[in-house]
Amino acid sequence: MTPEHELQAHFERTIARDQRIEPRDWMPADYRKSVLRQTAQHAHSEIIGMQPEGAWITRAPSLRRKAILLAKVQDEAGHGLYLYSAAETLGADRAELTDKLISGAQKYSSIFNYPTLTFADVGVIGWLVDGAAICNQVPLCRSSYGPYARAMIRICKEESFHQRQGYELLMTMMRGTPEQRRMVQDATDRWWWPSLMMFGPPDADSPNTERSMAWKIKRHTNDELRQRFVDMTVPQAGALGVALPDPELRWNAERGHHDFGEIDWDEFKRVVSGDGPCNAERVEHRRAAHEEGAWVREAAAAHAAKREEVAAA
């Protein structure tokens, strides 16, 4: 065998044995590209995901809710940082990743292009959006790329706190006034379908799924995860006392799963390709924050250079 073939064989064996690929290991160029695409997109989603809820920090109804929301949004920033670090182990440059986000060359989850109209949206995002994220991410703790899998372990622990805080907020509102209950139902109606879209296109239309599965970067297909999320969420909606806005949603005893209605894939495509209700606003906000933060990056770099100088002397 040529050295190249030996490396390839070693890589395949590592994957077959369910062991991890580490940054020092040889990996096929396409594997590197796939993991990088996924981690970068995931990192961008965490960072952009701070905006819809961040908008409510100054308007939270109590100090307690403000402290909880602040902690949650800060966690999302942390998730972005772990994931950018994982992307850097694949040779990506952090500044370039930010440029690609701001220029629209790289995508983030379509869910964050919807507006948060009332405080009930904060609860529903925790319940449904963080809930869907958990469904997606728990299996990624066993992803074949080591740094990605390890980042996911910590992220999932925090996501489960996010999900519970959302659910607890909604429970509190459901015990409140009729108007508060209406707000929860309205937010559920708006976020349900976009949450189902978070799992990505149907398997038949997902060009990357097959290879990502073969390489064990992903462990389940989009449709499998979406089904798992629906089955998990239906009883939670029941306990909460809200209706899920899908007349076709019902238990199918034969399949042992819930059937549900057709997702509006045209809407999904529109939002992914930049034409959702808040795409321009989200990216513009990120760009402004990046530009306003330039002095911090410059100061940190100058400080590091000075310390190096002192250490050298």
Enumerate binding residues for Fe ion (CB under 5 A). 46, 76, 79, 130, 159, 162
Q: 21 or 86: whose CB is closer to Fe ion?
A: 86
Minimal distance, residue 170 CB to Fe ion, in Å? 16
Question: Helix %, strand %, coil % for the chain, to 5?
Answer: 70, 5, 25
Angstrom distance (rounded) from CA 31 to CA 27: 6
Q: 15 or 43: whose CB is closer to Fe ion?
A: 43
Q: 71 or 214: whose CB is closer to Fe ion?
A: 71
Minimal distance, residue 44 CB to Fe ion, in Å? 12
Minimal distance, residue 308 CB to Fe ion, in Å? 34
Of 29, 23, 2, 26, nearest to 13 by C-alpha is 26
Q: 130 or 246: whose CB is closer to Fe ion?
A: 130
Minimal distance, residue 161 CB to Fe ion, in Å? 8
Residue 238: exposed, middle, or buried by beta-carbon count in 10 A (0-12, 13-18, 19+)?
Answer: exposed
Q: 215 or 229: whose CB is closer to Fe ion?
A: 229
Could you tell me which residues come within 8 angstroms of residue 206 by beta carbon, excluding any fewer than 6 positions away?
A: 200, 221, 222
Minimal distance, residue 272 CB to Fe ion, in Å? 19
Q: 46 or 246: whose CB is closer to Fe ion?
A: 46
Could you tell me which residues come within 8 angstroms of residue 180 by beta carbon, excluding any fewer than 6 positions away?
A: 120, 173, 174
Q: Annotate 9-58 with DSSP letters as a single string.
A: HHHHHHHHTTPPB-TTS---HHHHHHHHHHHHHHHHHHHHTHHHHHTTGG
Give, for 219, the enclosing helix (H) or strand (E): none
Q: 159 or 246: whose CB is closer to Fe ion?
A: 159
Minimal distance, residue 33 CB to Fe ion, in Å? 24
Residue 160: exposed, middle, or buried by beta-carbon count in 10 A (0-12, 13-18, 19+)?
Answer: middle
Tokens found for residue 284: 């513009």
Minimal distance, residue 287 CB to Fe ion, in Å? 21
3-state secondary structure of 310: helix
Give, for 250, the enclosing helix (H) or strand (E): strand 250-252
Q: 76 or 121: whose CB is closer to Fe ion?
A: 76
Angstrom distance (rounded) from CA 294 to CA 55: 22
Minimal distance, residue 238 CB to Fe ion, in Å? 23
